[in-house]
């Protein structure tokens, strides 16, 4: 009987001592004070992505990728998985493809708009097995990014963010 009380007291002590750890491990949301909404950029999605995610990447570095996904107000149309040539076939990031309108001025001073893409290259601190991410890729889908892909990448910690615009030199 004494042993039962001792075991119960010991278990209650363990639970009581772990309770503060659970509360303190919650991540507190801190808003990005430099973030500007997409609507403030008019029709310029490229400038929106450049300013908020490339130039202001210090906000996202060290945070989980879901922080970036939460703030991104434009659709990811597809993604590519960079593969590292190593014996374990691992990857350390994801390339997110986003559409943007490119305004062109003709020789008659008329402005026309054409759609093109920009790649937001997100590097992670962790590496993951390339094949695990490839299993989620659906070649037949029109939009290749969805909840399954977001769930896969959401907990990886962001190390760096790059921007690649095919018509312009890569911004580094």
SS (HEC) of the chain: CHHHHHHHHHHHHHHHHHHHHHHHCCCCCCCCCCCCCHHHHCCCHHHHHHHHHHHCHHHCCCCEHHHHHHHCCCCEEEEECCCCCCCCCEEEEEEEEEEEEEEEECCCCCEEEEEEEEEEEEEEEEEEEHHHHHCCCCCCCCCCCCHHHHHHHCCCEEEEEEEECCCCCCEC
In a domain, 153, yes or no: yes
Question: Of all residues in the chain, what percent carry a pLDDT higher than 90?
Answer: 43
The whole domain housing 159 covers: 36-164
Q: What is the pLDDT, as a whole number, of residue 107?
A: 54
Domain contains 172? no
Average pLDDT on 136-164 reads: 89
Query: Would you say residue 21 lies in a domain?
Result: no
Residue 21 confidence (pLDDT): 44
Q: Rounded to 5, what percent of the chain is helix, strand, coil?
A: 35, 30, 35
Report if pTM > 0.85. no
Mean pLDDT of the chain: 80
pLDDT at 120: 95
More confident residue, 66 or 101: 66
Mean pLDDT of all residues in 71-75: 93
Domains of the chain: total = 1
Most confident of 7-21, 24-38, 111-125: 111-125
Express each pLDDT in 21-51 by its tens digit: 444 344 566 788 899 999 998 878 899 999 9
Percent of the chain with pLDDT over 70: 71
In a domain, residue 91? The reply is yes
Q: How confident is the model at residue 171 (pLDDT cuts 50, 70, 90)?
A: low
Is residue 110 domain-resident? yes
């Amino acid at each position: 009987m004494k042993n039962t009380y001792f075991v119960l007291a010991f278990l209650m002590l363990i639970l009581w001592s772990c309770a503060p750890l659970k509360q303190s491990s919650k991540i507190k949301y801190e808003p990005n004070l430099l973030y500007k909404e997409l609507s403030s950029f008019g029709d310029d999605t490229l400038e929106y992505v450049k300013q908020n995610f490339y130039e202001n990447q210090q906000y996202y570095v060290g945070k989980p990728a879901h922080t970036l996904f939460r703030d991104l107000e434009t659709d990811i149309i597809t993604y590519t998985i960079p593969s590292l040539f190593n014996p374990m076939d691992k990857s350390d990031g994801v390339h997110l493809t986003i559409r943007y309108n490119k305004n062109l001025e003709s020789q008659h001073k008329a402005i026309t708009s054409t759609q093109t893409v920009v790649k937001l290259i997100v590097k992670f601190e962790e590496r993951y097995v390339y094949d695990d991410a490839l299993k989620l890729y659906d070649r037949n889908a029109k939009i290749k990014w969805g909840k399954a892909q977001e769930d896969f990448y959401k907990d990886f910690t962001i190390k760096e963010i790059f921007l690649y615009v095919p018509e312009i030199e890569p911004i580094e």
